[in-house]
Structure 1
C-alpha cells in the first residue's frame, strides 16, 4: 500500500520548496547585499505565513491566553532577526545560513527548532518583566541611565512600596509611594522630567492597565501648554472621556474639555480608564505629564543600529525611507534626554510635527503592500529600540 502524505505535511513541503526556490534563484544571480536582504525578507514572510510560532506556543508548549499571544510576538520577532542575520551581541549565533536551505534543509523545520530553543527563555523574560514592573523602581531601573544616576531616590521609593507593616493596605502603600515620588521630583539634582515617563508606565502597570495614552508630537506640545494654565486637566479630561464613552457626557464637559485632551486617553479601554480615574488626581496627573514628557531617547549610536536592523527586516524598496521613519517614531515617543544623559539638539525636536511623522511612516508602510500599516512600522521600531538599546519607549 502506497504511503500517503498528510495535508499538513504537504502544505509544509510546499512552503519549504518555495523557500528553496527563492534561495536557489538568489545564488544563481549576482548575490548582492540588497538581493540577500530581499530574499531573507521573503523567507521570514514564509515562516510567519506558515504560523510556525503559533504551532510551537499553542501546540508544543500549550500556552494560552494573553501570555501565549505575547510569547508568539516575542519569538516571531526573534526569528525575524535570525532570518535577517541580525546579531544582538557579538556572541549571538544561530542566524539563518542560506546555503543550508539551498542544500535542501527544511526552512520550517529550522525555524521550529529555533523557536523551541527560545520559547521557554522568552516566557521567563515576559514573566520577569511583569514582576519587575510591579514597582516604580523596577520600571525606572529598566533604563540604564536611571539605575546609574538615581539609586538613592530609587531605594527610598522601593522602601515605600515594600513596607513590612501588615496594617498598611495596598492602597495606602501606593499612596506612600506617590508621596515618595513627589519628594524625588523636588529633591533630586537630576532633571525631573527624566523620571516622569518611567514612573507613568510604572503607575499603569501597578494598576493592571496595559493600554497606553495616545501622545503625538503636536499633542504633547499642545497639552504641555494647556497644563500650564489648567493643572486639573488630567483628571477632568479623563472623567470626560469616561462619560463620553458611557454616553453621559455633560454640556459643561463638552464645552470645557479640548478634543486634544480627550484623544489622549483613546489608548485605554473603558475599564482601564475607570480604574485610573478611581486612583485619583495625583495618579492621572503623573500619567499625563509622564507621556507628555516622553521616554528616554536612544543615543545616536543606538539609532544607527536600530535603523540598520529595521532596514534588514523591511523590503529593499523601503531602505531609503527607513531612517526618517525611525526618527519619526523617536520624535513621537521620546524626550530630548538621551540614554547617556546628554540632550539632543533642540532643532531635532522642532523639525517634527504630526503631518511629517505620518508621511514618514506611510512611505515605509506603502512598501509593504496591501498589509502595510503605520502601526506595524511604529511597533517594529519600538521593539527594536527595546532589543538594541534596552529602552522602553
Structure 2
C-alpha cells in the first residue's frame, strides 16, 4: 500500500509541474500582437522617413532662399511662387495671316514679323529696364477652356513633335523682350495639325525658366487657334489679297481646273485682272460665262475677294478723234476729256456714250498706252488740251454731233456747243442710273459705274 501511494504522489507532482509549465508559456494572441506591433513600427518608420527628409529639405531651402533673397548675383534667380496673381502679361500684337502651311514663314495679318508686347492688366504697354527671355511654343488649339489659366495648365498643353519628327516649331523659338517688345524673325511649323485632338494649333509665348530677374510675374500669351496644312496644299491656296497677275482660280469659289476655271479660261479670262475688267465693263456677261452653277452667294464671295486686289499705280490711256480717257487697271474711268472739255471725277458724262467708249477700250486693251506716273496723268489736263484742241475742226464737230444723234441723246438739229450736248444727254438719263468716277486708283472698294 505504501508503494502504491508513493507512485500516486509522484504522478500528482508531475501533473502539477506540467500545469505550471503550461501556465508559464505565452499565449498565441500575445505572440501575434507583438509581431504585428513590431512590423507596424517598421512600416511606419519607413513611410515617415521620406516625409521627414522632404520637410527638412524644404526648411533648408527656405532658409537659404531667405538668406540670399536680396542677393545681387545675376547667376542666382528666383522663380515666382505658384498661384501668384500675374503682375504683367504678354500679348501678340496682331492676329496671324492665314492660311498657314508647313515649312512656310508665319507672319501677321499685315504680312509683317510677329510681335509680342508686354502689357498691364488694362492692356497698356509696359516697358521694363531689363530684358525678359521668352520661349515660343506650340499649344493645343482647344486650350484654354476659359479666359484664365495657370502656368501649369499652360505647360501641360504644350504640343511636342511626333516620334521621329523634327521639333514642331522651327526658327526663332527663343526671343527677348526689350523696351516692352519682342520680334519673332523667322518661325514655321514643321508638321500639320491634323493629328492632334483639336485639329488646330496655337502659338504661345512664356517667360523662359530663369528668363527674368525683375521680381515680377508675367502671364503667358497665345494666338488664335489655327489650322496648319501640309505644304502641298499651298499649291492650291487662295491669295489674300489677290494680285492682278494671279491666275483666276486663286479667287474664292473658283477651284483650280474646276468647272468655273475652265469656263473662264475658254473665254480668255485667265487672271484676276481679266476677271475684274469684265466685272466692270459687263458684269452680266461675266455671270453668264460662269453659268447657273455659281449661285448669288458664291458670286458675291468671289467678287468681294477679287475687289480686295491691290491695283498699283498703272493707268491706261484710251484715245479717239474727239476724246481721251484715263482708265485704271480694271477699266474704271479715272478722268475723261471729250471735245476739249475736261471731265473730272466730280462731273457727270453721258453714261451710254462713255459706256461704249469703255467697252471699246476693253476690247483693244493691249493697244492702250500704259503709264505709271499717276499724279502726272491726273494733272496733265493742260497738256491734253494742247494735244487735241489744235487738231479739232468744224468737220470733227459735225462727226461728234452725228455720233451723239445716233445714240438718241440730241435732236437732229446741229448743236454747236458740245459741252451742252453732253450735259443735255446726262439730264435725260433715267433716275437711279449714273456713272461713277473715282479720283484716284482705289484699292479696296471698286464700284461698277454701269
Q: TM-score, normalised by structure 2?
A: 0.24
The structure carrying a bigger strand percent of its residues is: 2
Q: Which structure would you say has the larger Rg?
A: 2
Q: TM-score, normalised by structure 1?
A: 0.27
